[in-house]
Structure 1
Amino acid sequence: MDKINVLIIVTGISLFISLFLAFFLLTVRTEYRLSNSLFAAFLIVNIMDISEPLVSLVTDGPSNLGMLRSTLAFLQIPAFYLYVMSVCYSDFRLKPKHILHLLPFLVVNMILLPRFYMVDAASKMDFIINRQSRIELQVTHILFHIQFVAYFVAVFVLLRKAKKLYRENYAGVNVNSYNWLFQFTSVLTALYLIVIIKNIFKFSDYPYISEWIKVGILVFQLFIICWYLFKALNHPGLFRNINSRLKLVSDIISEEKNSEAQTVSESELNEELIKLKKYMVEEKPFLDPSLTIQNVSDSTQIPVRDLSLLINHQLGQHFFDFINTYRIEEAKVILKDPAKKKVTVLEILYEVGFNSKSSFNTAFKKYTDLTPTLYRKQLLSSDL
């Protein structure tokens, strides 16, 4: 089977799965419709970009629509960035300012206007044949690389901040969604790095190498789409958002240092800490798997800002870890109880506020250096 046939087959499979996933995202009933729509837009733009091998079978030579289709690549990464924004922040909405993300796409097409879009078919063909010497295409590829670096740096910075905000204000296990999204972004970054290598060969003395790399890119892309589809179908509740108005504790401390506002006294902090610990022991709010710092604030009458500073700064723990400490202690009590030796680890993790075995095992091992099962076995052996 030659390269062209492989390219067409792989392209056809990728297009089918991408279209299926885009259709699923646009039609599934969910409260996260904007996130789904943005990722569907990313997929649709990607579909148009990778469809070139199939389009070439039914077209003769370069065309304005063909060039426009190829420049749609400049909309892929912005669409993905907006998707990540919508996943991270529950109050994210598309605004007029987001039109600025269209700027690279518009600039590139303006550059191509005089010597491609506005000329006859013969001139278009000459433009493509001599693409290695065309400054417009070279500038286009340079802009794509700049866009790639800028947007993916922005995405990783956004994910890092969002995960930290989540840990400082929430105690659910949905922090795993940020870990997965970080992995997904890393894989996409690797894909676009391969695209850059392909483009380098395209303008070198070995353009045929770029064609083989294109086959590899399509296969890799197919794997990524299937991976996302698997996650979307098996974990529909994976993603949960945080409020973008929340501030990192480091930013709050910085603001207080730069302002003339009176800081909370040591005695007030001690009173609030005693009040907080008493509430945690007596009311056991940590048993709620979806507990947030706002919930604790409402129950203790300690302002969220003060509570955040108390836990994240004064105690040196994220709210996420602070709550998990109590959950693990509660789990240890149950594991030590001879009357509950028949209660399974799975039952225990749900009882103490976790809703994932992997997150429970990870947290338990972090605080005890043992898995729950080994911890229980160790207790049983010591009693014999």
Structure 2
Amino acid sequence: MDTTLLDLAIIVSGSIGYFISIALVTTSFYKSRANKYLAISLFLLTSLTFLGSYEIGNFVLQFLDNIMLEFLVAGTLFTYFLIQIQHKYLIKKRYRLFYFPFIGSVILEFCVSFFDIVLNIYNPDFDAITYDIKDHVSFLYNVLLIFWGRYLIKKSNTISIEKKRWLLRLNLFMICIIICWFLSNIELYVYDSEYVTNFLWILLSFLTWWVLYYGIFKLQIIAQKDELHKYLVSKKTVNTSVKKKISKATVSKIITELYVVMEEEELYKNPLLSRLDLANRLGTSEGYLSQIINQEINKSVIQFVNEYRIEAAKNLLQDPVFNKYSIEAIGMEAGFKSKSVFYKTFNSNSGMSPGAFRKLHKMS
């Protein structure tokens, strides 16, 4: 493996990792209690990447390596999960117990340093054994908290599907890092090589880019969508619902009920709404629902549902009250499950992009 390219990737990704960490705790747009712990976790992981991938000669850096920042990563990341799922441990402040192993490691290293520097008593064998024990314990501790966190996330019913998906993905990413950590130790002891270790540094470097996109940008859109939804629910007088006139030629009871459930219950806002869900809600079959919509409205089920979504999005895009929300968040609130589908459907329906539509109404 080209060490120059590896070093460059680590330096660039590490710099971005530090930048994101600082931005999360200083920028009002991203600042939150949960993001504070995510920032600390990312800062520590970036630091561990630098400490592990380069030779350590400085006493301070050597001390940081010996106190096992891995213990602190496990605690901060687990706390991040607890905050996101609003777990009861936060109320009782039991999460503080998860930092005790790190505190113990720091105290132990201070004692070792005291004997070495002040008393001039140094035993390299004891130092090596102590380091190995802390290294193995920190690995097991990370395994425990990562899988415990995954269990709590899956069990939680206090968060949205989108946020749970993000947390599980982040958790899975950390599991992959732990697996590489385990394999790198085996490789080092058995084969005395560092190919897996180099891959571990690459994986840790890639984590900063991944968190930047999915954990900050995408999750912020979800947060905006949730805030937008809560605002619409609290402001019942805001006219953002879609009302359609039923044609006089429409005589089917199914179609009449369909308009009612779409407008009163706003079923179209469910991004996972399927033809089967709609048919079950109306007490009919998928085939008959498709047939009757096609006969009386001359549209497919998805075209019918998407028209409601587009009208809902237009109502939000042209209202200056919602200018602070991103177009992606508005698309999600209207019921589209992805940015690409929203843009494609909106452009097909309106002959312009959502951004152009918003800009047009800002100018008018």
Q: Same fold (TM over 0.5)?
A: yes
Q: How far did residue 194 of structure 1 move?
A: 0.8
Residue aligning to 1:67: 63
| 1:210-238 residue CA offsets vs partner (Å, 9 max, x unmatched) | x4333211211222221221222245222
Conserved in 2, the CA contact under 8 Å of 1:177 and 1:238? yes
| Offset from partner CA, 1:62-93 (integer Å, 9 cap, x none) | x2552224511211121111111222229985
Q: Which amino acid aligns with 2:132?
A: Q
Q: What corresponds to 1:22 in structure 2? A: 21
How many angstroms does 1:32 deviate by? 6.3
Q: Residue 285 of structure 1 corresponds to which residue in structure 2? A: 265
Q: Is 2:261–2:267's contact at 8 Å kept on the other side of the alignment? A: no
Q: How far, CA to CA, are the matches of 1:234 and 1:119 in structure 2? A: 49
Contact 1:346 1:357 (8 Å CA) reproduced: no
Does residue 1:140 correspond to 2:134, yes or no? yes
Aligned counterpart, 2:165: 179
**What's the CA shift for 1:50?**
1.6
Q: Structure 2: where are the runs of 5+ without partners?
A: 227-259, 313-332, 342-364
| 8 A contact 1:6–1:215 mirrored in 2 | no
Q: Say if 2:36 is the partner of 1:37.
A: yes
Q: Is the 8 A contact 2:6 2:202 kept in 1?
A: no
CA contact 2:16–2:208 (8 Å) conserved in 1: yes
For the pair 1:188 / 2:183, whether they are aligned, the reply is: no
Task: Mark the CA change 1:226 to 1:149 in structure 2 (over 3 Å): closer, same or farther.
Answer: same
Name the % identity.
16
Aligned mate of 2:306, from 328, 342, 346: 346
Q: Is the 8 A contact 2:45 2:204 kept in 1?
A: no
- Identify the structure with bigger relative contact order (alpha carbons < 8 Å, sequence gap 6+): 1
Secondary structure, in 3 states, of the residue corresponding to 1:107?
Answer: helix
Question: 1:189 and 1:289, CA in 2 relative to 1: closer, same or farther beyond 3 A?
Answer: same
Distance 1:76 1:178 in 2: 21
Provide structure 1 residue ranges, at least 5 long, that are not aligned to the other structure: 167-173, 243-279, 291-319, 362-384
AA matched with 1:36:
N
CA-CA distance at 1:105 after TM superposition: 0.8
Structure 1 residues 239 and 157, CA, compared in 2 at 3 Å: closer, same or farther? farther
Q: For the Cα contact (< 8 Å) 2:267–2:273, is it kept in 1?
A: no
Report the CA distance shift for 1:287/1:226 in structure 2 as closer, same or farther (over 3 A): same
Cα 1:53–1:184 shift into 2, 3 Å:
closer
Structure 1 equivalent of residue 212 of structure 2 = 229
What's the RMSD between the two structures over aligned residues?
A: 4.6
Matched with 2:155 is 161
TM-score after normalising by structure 1: 0.58
Quote the offset at 1:45 in angstroms.
Answer: 1.4
Distance 2:278 2:180 in 1: 46
- Cα separation, 2, equivalents of 1:75 and 1:241: 32
Of 100, 104, 110, the residue aligned with 2:107 is: 110
Check whether the contact 1:159–1:178 (CA below 8 A) recurs between aligned residues. yes
Aligned length: 280
